[in-house]
Amino acid sequence: MVKRIKRNAYTLMMTALGLLLVGGIYFSFVAPKEVEVGVSLDKQYSSVDEMKQEAQLIVEGTASTKQQGIRYQNMLFTVTDFHINKTIKGHADKKTIRILETGGFDGKNYLTVEGNKIMDKNQSYVLFLQKYQGSVTNQDAYVIIGAYQGKFAVDGNDISPAHKVAPAIAKLETKQALIKDIQDQ
Amino acid sequence: MKKGLAIFAFLLVLGAWSPTFAYVLWGYKWASPNITYECDMHGDYTTQCNNGKTEWSNWTDVNLSYSSNPGITTTAGNYGNVSWSGLCSVGSSSGSTVYRMDISINTYYTDSYSSQKRKGVITHELGHALGLSHENRLGPGGSVMYDNDGRTVYSPTQDDINGVNAIY
Ligand SMILES: [Zn+2]
């Protein structure tokens, strides 16, 4: 009787240890992780106004489910189709534009820039944009000012600025506050 | 009063002490401090890459040696107005051990930089490749790992050196 309990306890313990090991290996080596790329930004924007000055286009809209990864010389980029609901500055030729971002899902991990993933599918954003000039894609595309700095996730009236932005940008919590900052001056 | 002074002195010592440990580690490391690299870009990029490489190699416990099939690869190309002048991505790793790090230098920005500023970008990216993350607490002149090209130092500082030596 005691022997059987001992044997059962032993089996239970070994099973638990086995599961822990498999789980540990899965989460350490297999499960998708956020993997940072180490960039040097050309500059850090100190305010919404500074981003506004350099933006050719400021829009509110929704990232579609259409995303295309592009490998260009050792690095992964992603182009996302973005549906514009409202144009705040400038003029876009189409209702749906293409946004080029550095990073994306490489089949194994989510590559991030300063802890920022590329846009989520079906998520709304306010974006500060410039026409893309370069050879990663030869189709018309836009890039976000400051890589991620000009990207604000929108949920109803609440907005979430990106990680690692200047304090004056990080403190914005509502769409009204952001729009006011854009319209001031 | 005495107590207040003691606390003040303690904070002062703490304040003077902590910046020497300001470096931030990325979480990746090479299996050994003997790491291979190449700087085969073009013109001044190759020169400044070699200058940066020599400083990291001579000033830290890491030993960088040239290989045509290296651990650290470098590419200079025109990636366009993507807002970064340099980038280092993990090319191959297992857990926290890296086997290859790929550095990309974006000539869209760096072609108009001075040689010094260009060297700053490449040296910064080499710092990532060795396992360092961004360090902004010391300001633009305190660490070559300052996160943007407003940095005013273009060589590893004592803090950067301490960071690499803490890994290897
Ligand atoms: Zn960096």
Q: Note whether residue B4 is domain-resident.
A: no
- Phi (first) and psi of residue A101, to 5 degrees: -125, 150
In the beta sheet, which residues pair with residue A125? A61, A153
DSSP B82-114: SSEEEEEEEEEEETTEEEEEEEEEEHHHHTTS-
Nearest-CA distance B14 → chain A (Å): 26
At residue A137, the pLDDT reads 96
B6 within some domain: no
Give the minimum alpha-carbon distance from A113 to chain B in angstroms, rounded to a whole number.
10
Does residue B47 belong to any structural domain of this protein? yes
For residue B124, give Cα distances in angstroms to A168, A169, B27, B120: 26, 26, 16, 6
Find chain A residues with C-beta within 8 A of B81's C-beta.
Answer: 130, 132-134, 143
Residue ranges for chain A with pLDDT beneath 50: none
Is B51 inside any structural domain? yes
- Domain residues for the domain of B127 are 22-167
* Tokens describing residue B150: 């407003």
Considering the domain boundaries, does residue B66 fall inside one? yes
Nearest CA to CA, how far is B17 from chain A (Å)? 26
Does the beta-carbon distance from A143 to B81 stay under 8 Å? yes
**Please, which residues have CB within 8 angstroms of residue A15's CB and are 6 or more apart in sequence?**
none
**Chosen from B89, B96, B119 to mutate, greatest number of chain A CBs within 10 A:** B89
Q: What confidence score (pLDDT) does residue A31 get?
A: 76
Q: Which CATH architecture has domain A48-184?
A: Beta Barrel (2.40)
pLDDT along chain B (168 residues), means of 10: 52 50 93 97 97 98 97 97 98 94 98 98 98 96 97 97 96
Q: Could you tell me if residue B73 is inside a domain?
A: yes
Structure-token pair, residue B31: 């299996």
Does B96 fall in a domain?
A: yes
- DSSP, collapsed to helix, strand or coil, labels residue B43 as helix
pLDDT at A1: 61
A29 and B94 within 8 Å at the Cβ level: the answer is yes
Domain boundaries, chain A: 2-31, 48-184
Pick the closest to residue A139 from A88, A87, A43, A68 (CA basis). Answer: A68
| Domain contains B13 | no
User: Do residues B77 and B110 make contact, with C-beta atoms less than 8 angstroms apart?
Assistant: no
Q: From the list A28, A35, A37, which residue is nearest B87 (CB)?
A: A37
The enclosing domain of B61 has a CATH number of: 3.40.390.10
DSSP lists the bridge partners of residue A130 as: A143
State residue B1's pLDDT score.
47
Q: Per the structure, how many domains does chain B have? A: 1
